[in-house]
Each structure stands twice: as structure tokens, then as C-alpha cells.
Amino acid sequence: MATLTRYSNIELLNLPDCRDLRENGKCALLNVPACTGEGCPYYRERNSVDCSWQRLCSLNEKTQEHIAQKYYGGARPWAQEERLRKGDVSHVSGG
């Protein structure tokens, strides 16, 4: 969120840290007058690791391989996380 100034709306501090919450306190997904809070069915917490790994998963194979070699010693932790989310745990149990 934006920095708090004397011109800021102090009520924005009471809103959840949702990825789709705009700086003016309105929802980026829904056409509603105000944020409904954590009870909203579209509420998603901000998690920079999840966002960045989703972005890495969306890249083509060549780019992913380049990033894996340069920054992760050839491993692709974002691909492992994606398999866990899909329910494929065969690589974890060794079979």
C-alpha cells in the first residue's frame, strides 16, 4: 500500500492485505463500492514468492532453463511447487 500521509484515508489501514486491493481501497476485480474484507470470495493474500513463481512457470522452457542455471544452480523450485499444488507428490517419495 501507499505510504501514509496526513491526506491519506486512515480507514485504509483496516483493510486486508489483498493482492487485488487498490490504493484507493476499492477492489480491482469486483465492481463494489468498498472492500468486503477477508470474507470476500475473491480475497487473496499477497505473497511475493507465489507471485514470482507463477510468473516463472508461465515463461517458456528456454527462459526457465536460463534462470534456473543462473540463479538456482540448475534447479527449478518453482516447478516443484507447481507439482505439489497439482497433487503430484511422486518426486517427493522417491518413486
pLDDT band at 8 (very low <50, low <70, confident <90, very high): low
pLDDT in tens, 60-83: 999 999 999 999 899 998 887 665
Question: What is the distance between the alpha carbons of residues 87 and 15, in angstroms, rounded to a whole number?
Answer: 33
Burial class (CB in 10 A: 0-12, 13-18, 19+), 18: buried
Residues 6+ apart with CB under 8 A from 1: 12, 17, 21, 23
Asked if the model's pLDDT at residue 86 lies above 70, the reply is no
Residue indicated by cell numbers 477477508: 38
pLDDT in tens, 14-69: 777 787 888 777 888 888 887 888 888 888 776 766 778 888 999 999 999 999 99
State the virtual CA torsion across 21, 48, 57, 89 in degrees, nearest 10. -110
